Amino acid sequence: MSSPPRAFVSHAGEDKAAYAEPLASALRSQGVDAWLDKWEMLPGDSLIQKIFSEGIHGTDAVIVLLSATSVSKPWVQKELNVAAVNNIQKALRLIPVRLDACQVPEVLRDLLWLDWTKDGGADGVAKRILEALHGQTSKPPLGSPPPHLSAPRFTIPGLNARDVKVLQIVFEASLDNGLQFLQGDVIVPIAEQEGITFEQMKESITMLESQGFLIDEDRTIAQQHVIVSLDAGQALKLGQSYGYDCEALLRRVTALVCNEQCHSLFALYESVSTFPKGL
């Protein structure tokens, strides 16, 4: 808004000191030009002209303070009727504030009203009114989905995004650590960084095992005590998706073994661990 929002406070005289004036003051302190008869009217002013031509006319919201006293007051009823008509004819916001357990007038029952006590008195009600005038809500902002639900590096039929992520974690951890068997203390922290709990990881491991991707080496799967290994055939397929020339790698391993250049698994690993990516 280019100019401060304006609000007319409709109330019974009996509710002025305890409710209307504290609310209007709280509104003004938060940048809302609150119209209160005590502040706007001078001796000799026309009551009708001031309220209906200056008070309600040109305002952005009419705040109706409802109490057992005010709902029976003819002036409040008249202000309410004018406000209700304006609410229909233009974008004027009609905001009821219930001060006690009074009956809400028929014309206001379809509107969402504020409760003086539940909404925190003058300051709390003023804050809610300010949010309404500026179109703000208390709805939390939309956050980002957990990392494991973002677009995976690859997709595999029959597996959901979390299963694929766990498979990716196991494969990459195998490459990074040069290990055939991976314990929980290696893969669990990585999974947790991706927003995957230990229970979720166990579910995915069970699914991956049933699909032939992983071999569960420890059936107990106690907390932090899971040991898994990749199926060799599936590991080659995964390697291809990462850009490794797995066929050339197999040829090299075969040549090393046949030529007896490697006499242990460790020596074999050392010979091929720095094998360049084919793509």
Instruction: For residue 102, give the CATH number of its domain.
Output: 3.40.50.10140
What's the distance, Cα to Cα, between the start and end of the chain in Å? 57
Which range (71-75, 184-188, 194-198, 234-238) has the least confidence?
234-238
What is the DSSP secondary structure assignment for residue 3, as one 8-state letter? S
Task: Confirm whether 112 is domain-assigned.
Answer: yes
Spatial CA neighbour of 24 closest among 40, 11, 35: 35
Task: Confirm whether 96 is domain-assigned.
Answer: yes
Mean pLDDT of 84-102: 75
Task: Confirm whether 247 is domain-assigned.
Answer: no
How long is the chain? 279
The C-alpha torsion from 234 through 236 and 240 to 245, rounded to 10°, is -170
Q: What is the pLDDT of residues 120-177, one digit of tens each?
A: 999 999 999 999 888 887 778 887 766 655 655 667 778 888 888 888 888 777 777 6
187 burial via Cβ count (<10 Å: 0-12, 13-18, 19+): buried
Q: Is 151 left (phi over 0), alpha (psi -120 to 50) or beta?
A: beta
User: Can you name the residues that pair with 8 across neighbouring β-strands?
Assistant: 35, 62
pTM, two decimals, is: 0.49
Based on the fold, state whether residues 169 and 99 are members of the same structural domain: no
> Looking at 133, 167, 201, which one is the last position of a domain?
133
Which pLDDT value is given to residue 17? 92
Based on the fold, state whether residues 103 and 221 are members of the same structural domain: no
Higher pLDDT, 106 or 271: 106
Based on the fold, state whether residues 154 and 188 are members of the same structural domain: yes
Based on the fold, state whether residues 46 and 110 are members of the same structural domain: yes
Task: Confirm whether 278 is domain-assigned.
Answer: no
Based on the fold, state whether residues 118 and 168 are members of the same structural domain: no
φ and ψ at residue 64, rounded to 5 degrees: -105, 115
> Looking at 103, 133, 163, which one is the last position of a domain?
133
Q: What is the pLDDT of residues 199-232, one digit of tens each?
A: 888 888 888 888 887 776 554 544 455 566 666 6
Based on the fold, state whether residues 121 and 17 are members of the same structural domain: yes
User: Please, where are the H alpha helices in the chain?
Assistant: 21-29, 37-40, 47-48, 74-89, 121-133, 161-177, 184-193, 198-210, 232-241, 246-258, 265-272
**Is 190's pLDDT higher than 60?**
yes
Q: What is the spatial distance between Cα 250 and Cα 258, in angstroms, rounded to a whole number?
A: 12
Based on the fold, state whether residues 23 and 108 are members of the same structural domain: yes
Task: Confirm whether 82 is domain-assigned.
Answer: yes
User: Can you name the residues that pair with 228 across neighbouring β-strands?
Assistant: 182, 216
Task: Give the total number of structural domains in the chain.
Answer: 2
- Report whether 4 contacts 31 (CB < 8 A): yes
Kind of pairing between the strands at 33-35 and 214-216 = unpaired
Spatial CA neighbour of 76 closest among 43, 108, 109: 108
Based on the fold, state whether residues 96 and 153 are members of the same structural domain: no
Based on the fold, state whether residues 10 and 106 are members of the same structural domain: yes
CA distance to 130, 140, 173, 183, 185, per residue, from 146 (Å): 34, 17, 20, 24, 21
Task: Confirm whether 63 is domain-assigned.
Answer: yes
| CATH number, domain containing residue 215 | 1.10.10.10
Task: Confirm whether 153 is domain-assigned.
Answer: yes
- Report whether 2 contacts 29 (CB < 8 A): no
Range of the domain at 92: 6-133
